[in-house]
Amino acid sequence: MADRALPAPGRLDGLAAGAAAAHPARTAITGGGATVDFATLDARATAVARALAGRLDGPGTVAVASALHPDFAVAYYGAARAGQVVAVVNPLIPEIGVRHVLATSRARLAFVDAGLLPKLKAVRADLPDLREVVLIGGAEDGATGTLEELLAAAPTGEGWQPPAVDLDDTACLQFTSGTTGLPKAVRLSHRNLTVNAAQIAAAHRLDADSVSLNHLPTYHPMHLNSAVAAAATQVLCDAPEPVDAVHTANTHGATHFYSLPVRLARLAADPALDGLALRTVTRIASGGSALPVDAAQRLTERFGIPVFQGYGLAETSPLTHSDDPDHPVHGSVGRPVPGTECRVVDLESGAELPAGQPGEVQLRGPQVMKGYLGAPDLAPGEWFTTGDIGRVDQDGRLFLIDRLGDVFKVDNFLVAPSEVEQVAAAHPLVREAVVVGLPDGRGYRVAGALLVLDEPERIAEAVEQINAELPYYQRLVHTEAVAAIPRSGNGKIQRRVLGGQFAARLGLTDPQTEGSEAMGAPLFTVINTFVLKDPAGGAAFEQRFLDHVEWMRAQFGFRSHQAVRALAEPEVYVNFGWWATPGDFQQVLGSETFQAHAKEFHQLVDVQAEPSMGVLRVEGEPAAQNAEGALLVVERFTATGDAEKFEAAFAAWTEAAARTAGFGHADLAKALMRPGGYTALTRWASPAAWEQARALPEYADLAALADSETRPAAPVAGTRTPAAPAGV
């Protein structure tokens, strides 16, 4: 499709203005108990823009939570019309994610829904740029301003004009999923977004007669922009069950049914499916991850409606590929949308591969991002490397195989878990399968599988028959029968988390991260400060914390932790958690279990989290590390000058302290979101040993380079794992 004409670009808020001019009375969005037509959507966006112009001095960033409600569209287009950059916030992310997104984007005002507000309040003190919070989605708490109040206070009258923008200016910050670390902010321009909106509308056959049913957990700008570009009506369905979405589609006369693969797969397997009908829907669209072929076939056969998939990333606005919505090929994400190029390259040489050969997917087109926030713009004509493995057939259709991080090698053969999963899922006893690469104890990987079985006691028989269908390098070495496959809040399988947990249950060591401390690689460090809401609630909190730690110890990438209680402030606890990589922690953070634990914690304590990267670890006397009545000191620094000088001064002090009696060990971590921020944890055999070390001239040199806040503390739980001896 790369040779077809490109749609004309425009400014992002121009999508709403264009739809209002052409179809003012047509329903634009309905959902969450509210309905707006295109004229109202556009007018409310203008009112938001005028209100922001009076509140914010010049261009900056406005955060908007992607709540499944028409207010999201009003705030999104209103912020763009005001000349602000819109930072899209997923309301399902935990507090640490909220803090990261708002701090990274430096949002000055945030539109949030009722679900996100408590998380934002918990981290508000760490967001000095944030001036105002506005509730959307019809929510009220009596203390926070609402969208309706903001609109009521907006200036009226003639003469106001939106500030001019360049179509290549950044219009939106879209955050990545963070599967390889903290989410990155993707800079998308007005041109990126409006061209892609038109590309999607054309690829999906959306027009002013279309009614799209969005059965999604949050409001993705892809669905918003493409529907508004086509002047199509959007029906927002927040019911969790797919059967309810079918009824909603029939009630509203939907023509397009958008859902997640996990929800469509659940619908295909639902016993109620045979009694359902889609009376007006002409196409079912799936995106976000792969939809199993058998689920697509089952839905097509039952409803007599094509089921098609697409492909894209946050970095590509997002859509780059769409299958033919009238004649899809199940298993494919289709051909590139107009103006877009796709190629598959060899993983090692980077050479382009012929049709049919798997390799890494690269993309080029007008919807590819300007670049990441804080990084240079992509060069004109530069190929974007996706990190996905796929192949292109002779007709130009892309078939995705796996994420690059999920693929592993056995005897130099590339093993794609999804290919093994397809074979496993075809077995009559298997209802669902997830395949992961597990350590083999020799620095390589073997295939393991979690299997949902109709008869779990027959797992050995099923595995034997599955392996008979596979080449030797793909065969399952480790298997486990499970009742269900755990998924994240947005329905995705977190293969890295599942693999790590599986490996831990088997007692297998991961060769990719084991020994990273010994090699000097910095450990990702999460420093949580807990303050009891009830000073008498320490025992209850400690018990709940110990239960949580037991679970955390089994998670992939978890290394160790040390929790302490401040001596002078017994209501304050601090925990240092050490992880192999940021990605490991980010994956665990999104799990339902972690979120449930966090909810319980918030009933007992206020929490402040500071993600950091380890700078150095210094070892002292083993006797001091194990001494009865040991003192641990948490010292929070803010470097006032050169960071390298500060780190060198800390190293000099701890090396000098290590030559004195009573020094156990020291860790220094650099805050990822606090400029100049560092936190140290040191262990001493006694308070006297600590005072002796603080009297060293090297400590005076250190103190001259930073402001500090010191908390002497007693250990509560955990033992920080020391670095391995040299040569190990």
pLDDT tens for 375-400 read: 999 998 899 999 888 899 999 999 98
d(CA 95, CA 122): 7
Determine, yes or no, domain membership for 36. yes
Token pair, residue 103, equals 């701090």
Q: In this structure, what CATH number is given to the domain that contains residue 479?
A: 3.30.300.30
Determine the pLDDT at residue 405. Answer: 67
Determine, yes or no, domain membership for 687. yes
Determine, yes or no, domain membership for 511. no
Query: Do residues 489 and 554 both lie within one domain?
Result: no
pLDDT(178) > 70? no
Q: Is the CB of residue 38 less than 8 Å from the CB of residue 105?
A: no
Q: pLDDT-based confidence at 590, cuts 50/70/90?
A: low
Determine, yes or no, domain membership for 359. no
Query: Do residues 86 and 155 both lie within one domain?
Result: yes
Query: Do residues 443 and 565 both lie within one domain?
Result: no
Query: Do residues 162 and 280 both lie within one domain?
Result: yes
- Residue % of the chain over a pLDDT of 70: 92
Domain of 578 in residue numbering reads as 524-717
Q: pLDDT-based confidence at 552, cuts 50/70/90?
A: confident
Q: Is the CB of residue 404 less than 8 Å from the CB of residue 418?
A: no
b or e along 219-239 (b: 16 or more beta carbons within 10 Å of the residue's beta carbon)?
bbbbbbbbbbbbbbbbbbbbe
Residues recorded for the chain: 728
Work out how many domains the chain is built from and give that number. Answer: 3
Determine the pLDDT at residue 681. Answer: 96
Query: Do residues 537 and 649 both lie within one domain?
Result: yes
Q: State pLDDT tens for residues 526-543.
A: 999 999 999 999 999 999
What mean pLDDT, rounded, does the chain reach? 89
Lowest mean pLDDT segment, chosen from 252-261, 420-429, 622-631: 622-631
Query: Do residues 154 and 261 both lie within one domain?
Result: yes
Lowest mean pLDDT segment, chosen from 62-71, 200-209, 442-451, 459-468: 442-451
Query: Do residues 428 and 529 both lie within one domain?
Result: no
Q: Indicate whether this model's pTM tops 0.85.
A: no
Residue 243 vs residues 265, 280, 318, 392, 703: alpha-carbon distances, Å: 12, 15, 28, 35, 63
Q: In this structure, what CATH number is given to the domain that contains residue 43?
A: 3.40.50.12780
Q: State pLDDT tens for residues 85-141.
A: 999 998 877 787 888 899 999 999 999 999 999 999 989 999 999 999 999 999 999
Query: Do residues 202 and 119 both lie within one domain?
Result: yes
Q: Examine the fold and report which residue of 288, 316, 333 is the final residue of a domain before the chain moves on.
A: 333
Tell me the mean pLDDT in the region 468-483. 90
Q: pLDDT-based confidence at 185, cuts 50/70/90?
A: very high
Determine, yes or no, domain membership for 393. no
Lowest mean pLDDT segment, chosen from 48-57, 153-162, 319-328: 153-162
State the DSSP H helix or E strand holding residue 627, giving kind and residue range, or none if neither. Answer: none
DSSP letters, 664-679, are: EEEEEEEESSSTTEEE
Determine, yes or no, domain membership for 577. yes
Determine the pLDDT at residue 613. Answer: 87
Q: Examine the fold and report which residue of 333, 365, 391 is the final residue of a domain before the chain moves on.
A: 333
Tell me the mean pLDDT in the region 147-155. 94
Tell me the mean pLDDT in the region 262-266. 86
d(CA 237, CA 509): 44
Determine, yes or no, domain membership for 69. yes
pLDDT(73) > 70? yes
Query: Do residues 112 and 260 both lie within one domain?
Result: yes
Query: Do residues 493 and 629 both lie within one domain?
Result: no
Q: In this structure, what CATH number is given to the domain that contains residue 655?
A: 3.30.70.100
Q: Look at 360 and 621; give whichever has higher pLDDT.
A: 360
Query: Do residues 502 and 530 both lie within one domain?
Result: no
Query: Do residues 298 and 426 both lie within one domain?
Result: no
Q: Examine the fold and report which residue of 303, 333, 363 is the final residue of a domain before the chain moves on.
A: 333
Determine, yes or no, domain membership for 351. no
